[in-house]
Amino acid sequence: MNKPQRSPVDIAREAFQSLATRKVSPTPEAYRAAYEEIAGVTAGADQGSVLAGFAQTLSRLPGEAGRIGQRLAQACDVRNWQEYNAALGALADQYLGPRAGAAVGTLAPLDSAREYIHDTRKDALLRELLARVLSFNIASFLSDAPELANEAKTLAQDLKNAFSEAAMMDVAARVKQLSFRIELQSDDIAQQQELLLRLFQLLLENIHALLEKGSWLSGQISNVQQLISGPISQTSLADATRSLKEVIYKQGLLKETLNEEKITVKNLMLNFVDHLGRIVTSTSTYHESIGAHSEKVSRATNIGDLNAVLNDIMRETRTAQYDALKARDEMIFARQEVQKAEARVQSLESQLVQMSELVREDQLTGSLNRRGLDETLAREIVAANRRGTPLCIALLDLDDFKRLNDTHGHNAGDEALIHLVKVIKDTLRKLDVIARFGGEEFLIVLPETPPEEAMETIRRVQRELTKRIFMHNREKLLITFSAGIAMMSQGEGQSDMIKRADAALYRAKNAGKNRIVMANPPV
């Protein structure tokens, strides 16, 4: 059976693919040899005639192939093989995808209108990534808008199948429309969240206004108010929730005891009132008895009758006196018990207030948290301005903390932070304060301390940290920190002072590890 005759386009395609596979440059000589080998043309034929015949045959085809054939014929007539090579390249780009030597990816199918797109590996990767973002990431963020989520998933699937230019343009238009609708949806959600936040703030303000001064609830409400007034992050919410849960648990135990003590006070007061009632009853009975004896005295006719009445009066007087003394003792005891119970109630209420103050402490390290830091630093700034004394702060950051966590685990990181705070507290003065500024950063407040002494204090902490080796799983780990120190200038607020200390810390980090840098004065 005879093999079906192949068209010049098919032979040219195979010849060009052969050159690309063998990584041979498509020169006229190389192309002629490949073409003759595939077409079965007798070797030694005139190469010009072969190329010219191919060009003439190709020029008779309709569409883009015919136009490229005309370019080939014109180049062959004037022996412009550079133009001929360029035309062959255009033919390869049109029907074979990327040229020889380029990274060849998926060759998309041709549609009837010849509107096709050839994907290189880079294009295919970008297409896959965009489809994945639409299908998984964007769709997952649109859980509250199922219609938009379904559209994102549909677009992802259509993008994978969009090999024609028309299909790709349609996908692009739909992506733009989806982006616009998501933006509108995001604006609506943001407005709803802002309104809910305002409503929550208003509710907290009203509750806080109704509370008595010094109420144990004030601390918790103030903490939540401070949280929602600043930038809200997952970390800050988690820290606040963890702190409040522990405080609420302890407060629950104290409130239960407080309620029991209040019931005790109530019962003691009822007993006290009962004693008073018995005294009143006893006194009233005694008065009635004395009145009856008075009548007996007025009717007595001899000394014997008077003696009998007198004996009755003395007996009832002694009884009344005994009841009065007993009631007095019971009342004194009851009053003492009430006073003790009231003292216990006051103590428990004081503990509740102190418990709400715990939300000012960092639960991991025992240092102050940001709320406690803000209150302390504001108080020290006022005191320094009033007394005219220097005030310095030092912003510390553990060196290579991420590597410590990655190498030894987050437990090692937590233990390192606890160890650092303990060393700092043991080294500083009692009037100095340390607070956790965020992550592995800590801020030390140094009242009545000039810059030179502040620098020496932080150096002393560094030396002490080097002496007291940090141990984790019986392994010695060296931990160091870098620090930036800033002294408060006249009229400077705490945020500006912290910014200068942070800039100094940044310079210390860039200069190397275990460094201390003094901040520049404010501009």
**What is the DSSP secondary structure assignment for residue 137, as one 8-state letter?**
I
Between strands 481-487 and 516-518, the pairing is parallel
Compute the Cα dihedral for 126, 127, 129, 130 and give only its sign: positive
- Which of 147, 440, 448, 492 is catalytic? The answer is 440
Cβ within 8 Å of residue 319, ≥6 positions away: 286
Amino acid at 523: V
Using alpha carbons only, give the angle 474, 478, 482 rounded to the nearest 5 degrees: 150
What distance in Å separates the CA atoms of residue 15 and residue 25, rounded to the nearest whole number?
12
Q: How far is CA 280 from the centre of its chain?
A: 69
Secondary structure of 400-433 in the HEC alphabet? Answer: CHHHHHHHHCHHHHHHHHHHHHHHHHHHCCCCCE
What's the rounded Cα separation, in Å, for the pair 348 and 91? 91
Based on the residue annotation, tell me whether 492 is a catalytic residue of this protein. Answer: no
**516 and 455 Cβ atoms separated by less than 8 Å:** yes
The stretches of 78-164 forming alpha helices (DSSP H) are 81-96, 121-132, 139-141, 146-160
Give residue for tokens 């233990």.
Answer: 415
Structure tokens belonging to residue 234:
């997952």
Helix, strand, coil share (%) of the chain residues, nearest 5: 70, 5, 20
Q: Is 278 exposed, middle or buried (0-12, 13-18, 19+ CB in 10 A)?
A: middle
Q: Which residues are catalytically annotated? A: 440
